[in-house]
Amino acid sequence: MAHGEVNHDYHLVNPSPWPLIGSIGVATLFIGMVTYMKGLFGLEQGTWWLGLIGFAIIIYTMVGWWRDVVKESRAGDHTPVVQIGLRYGMLLFIASEVMFFVAWFWSFFEFVIFSGARVGGTWDATNPIYADGLSRFADWPPAGVETFDPFHLPLINTVVLLLSGTTVTWAHHALQHGDRDGTRNGLILTILLGAFFTFLQVLEYSHAQFTYDGTLYGSAFFMATGFHGAHVLIGTIFLIVCLGRLLGGGFTPQKHFGFEAAAWYWHFVDVVWLFLFAFVYVAPHLIFGH
């Protein structure tokens, strides 16, 4: 019996099928996406069911894997040392997400700075075309692209998302102080605000005067805002799961990393949106007059 006792603070997980199942799901999803866009393995372009199968496998993996993590926590396997590892893992995941958006902003600024060169302009500093320092960007956004007024729907969406950041902070603070009613109310408000943001984003897309494949601006706009919108949707689901766990008796003031991770993720989504709002919506409107 002595040889079976645990004499360290680490948790050695049991053999798990989820990494293999998740990998199969991701591979199926990407093959399905290629099949939908180009056709593959004898399947015609537009075939959608293969990607849907991959997506379903990923969802199944997420539910099963996270359920096992919750069981480990309830069994007392999440010691203080393990909790530190979980926090580092979440921080590194958010850092990887940050780098995606850094890469996107890098490409977006490259589109803007070299917009003149892309349509036959030059970088001759003595050229009077570039004398005012802004004319070199005269082709951004491209001619014919009617951008959104940032002070209508985009501004409302910004207020909604910032308000959701305050409500999730309220919920977190309430949970730390044992106020489960306050946590529940704050979570419900955050979820509603997140769903409202998604609704407004879809409404905005329905009024877009440009398309994804029409110009560089269109592809950059929909890639950034669409990917961010997917993060908002995922974060909303994350918070819904936290609400379900809270209502089921989960979380204590001392142990609630699942909720804490969701709050971190939500704040990350908030901050990214501020940069998108400033550079994608406001800058073209104020600087370039589009």
Whether residues 66 and 100 fall in one domain: no
User: What is the percent of the chain where pLDDT is above 70?
Assistant: 83
Whether residues 40 and 96 fall in one domain: no
Q: What is the pLDDT of residue 140?
A: 66
Whether residues 69 and 103 fall in one domain: no
Instruction: Check pLDDT > 80 for residue 114.
Output: no
Q: Looking at per-residue confidence, does 287 or 278 come out higher?
A: 278
The three-state (H, E, C) secondary structure of 203-257, written as one string: HHHHCCCCCCCCCHHHHHHHHHHHHHHHHHHHHHHHHHHHHHHHHCCCCCCCCCH
176: which residues sit within 8 A by CB, 6+ positions away?
Answer: 253
Q: Which of 58, 77, 96 lies at the terminal end of a domain, its last residue?
A: 77
The CATH number that applies at residue 3 is 1.10.287.70
Whether residues 282 and 204 fall in one domain: yes
Q: In which band, very low, low, confident or very high, does the pLDDT at 120 lie, cut at 50, 70 and 90?
A: very low
Residues 172, 3: Cα–Cα separation, whole Å: 41
Q: In which band, very low, low, confident or very high, does the pLDDT at 116 lie, cut at 50, 70 and 90?
A: low
Q: Which of 26, 55, 77 lies at the terminal end of a domain, its last residue?
A: 77
Whether residues 157 and 60 fall in one domain: no
Q: What are residue 35's phi and psi, to 5 degrees?
A: -60, -40
Whether residues 153 and 232 fall in one domain: yes
Residues 217, 148: Cα–Cα separation, whole Å: 12
Whether residues 65 and 209 fall in one domain: no
Residues 186, 266: Cα–Cα separation, whole Å: 13
The three-state (H, E, C) secondary structure of 21-74, written as one string: HHHHHHHHHHHHHHHHHHCECCECCCCCHHHHHHHHHHHHHHHHHHHHHHHHHH
Q: Looking at per-residue confidence, does 254 or 102 come out higher?
A: 102
User: What is the percent of the chain where pLDDT is above 90?
Assistant: 41
Q: What is the pLDDT of residue 228?
A: 93
Domain count, the chain: 2
Q: Looking at per-residue confidence, does 261 or 216 come out higher?
A: 261
Whether residues 73 and 84 fall in one domain: no
Residues 190, 198: Cα–Cα separation, whole Å: 12
Mean confidence (pLDDT) of the chain: 83
Domain that holds residue 281: 79-286
Instruction: Check pLDDT > 80 for residue 289.
Output: no
pLDDT in tens, 186-215: 999 999 999 999 999 999 988 877 777 667
Cβ pair 189, 196 in contact under 8 A: no
Whether residues 161 and 252 fall in one domain: yes
Q: What is the pLDDT of residue 139?
A: 61
pLDDT in tens, 2-46: 445 666 677 777 788 999 999 999 999 999 988 888 887 777 888
Whether residues 59 and 83 fall in one domain: no
Whether residues 26 and 41 fall in one domain: yes
Whether residues 104 and 176 fall in one domain: yes
Q: What is the pLDDT of residue 220?
A: 83
The CATH number that applies at residue 238 is 1.20.120.80
What Å distances lie between residue 21 and 45, 57, 75, 86, 89, CA to CA? 26, 7, 24, 22, 21
pLDDT in tens, 209-240: 777 766 777 788 888 898 899 899 999 999 99
Q: Which of 21, 48, 77 lies at the terminal end of a domain, its last residue?
A: 77
Q: In which band, very low, low, confident or very high, does the pLDDT at 255 lie, cut at 50, 70 and 90?
A: confident
Residues 8, 287: Cα–Cα separation, whole Å: 59
78: which residues sit within 8 A by CB, 6+ positions away?
Answer: 11, 72, 86, 255, 257
